[in-house]
Structure formats: C-alpha cells, structure tokens
Amino acid sequence: MPENKVSSFPEQCEEKGPITFEARPDPELIIKSVLEHFPYLKFRNSFRGIDNYNFASPQPWSSPCPICDGKHGNYGLHGEWYNNGIEYCITCFTSSNKFKFAIIA
C-alpha cells in the first residue's frame, strides 16, 4: 500500500510550520484555528472524529485547494488526528496528500 505524502505546510505558510500545542486542544479550538488560518473555509460538521470543512465561496470551484492546489469545487476538506493523536492533518477528497496543521509537543 503506498504511503501518503505528508507536507508540513503549503508554500504560503511554510515559514511558520505547524501550530504546536502542549496538550491535545479541545475540538472547538482546533476548528477555530483552522478557520482563522484558512478564512476561505467554513466548518461543516464533525462525524466520528473527522472534522469536515467546505469552501466558503459561493463559487468554490474558483478557490484553489490548500492541499493539492487544484480547483475541485466544494468537495471539501477534512481534518483528523493521526500518529496516535499527535498530528492534526487536513486532507482533501481528491488527493492522498496530508497537510500537517498542528502537532502535540
């Protein structure tokens, strides 16, 4: 099975790196952090530990995806904790790439 590529941050955020928390934050805090970092996203829902986000634009196909840089409409993104709950990664539905958004140090 091929291993998914994990990128630390898209080019526009590369200088900052992932957000670091000392302990796993409340779900509301991680969602708020994602929305502050990506103002063009909106929170849709959480289901079975996966946070679902959509593009906020009325024309989502015009917004580049921060994960794959493609324009794939409002298929949305999802966030989930990986590596035994120490990395919160965001993925899109058209790419196997993961965007490492936050880590527990």
With 90 as the cut, is the pLDDT of residue 93 above it? Answer: no
> What gap in Å lies between CA 38 and CA 54, rounded to an integer?
11
DSSP 5-17: PEES--GGGTTT-
Q: Report CA Rg, the chain.
A: 13
Q: Which two tokens stand for residue 16?
A: 């900052």
Across the chain, mean pLDDT equals: 81
Tens-digit pLDDT profile for residues 16-45: 579 999 999 999 999 999 999 988 889 999
Predicted local distance difference test score (pLDDT) of residue 27: 92
Coil, strand or helix at 41:
strand
Residue 55 pLDDT: 85
Instruction: Kindly report which listed range (4-8, 48-52, 61-65, 86-90) carries the lowest average pLDDT score.
Output: 4-8
Domain extents in the chain:
6-104
- Global pTM reads 0.77
**Which of the four pLDDT bands, split at 50, 70 and 90, describes residue 86?**
very high
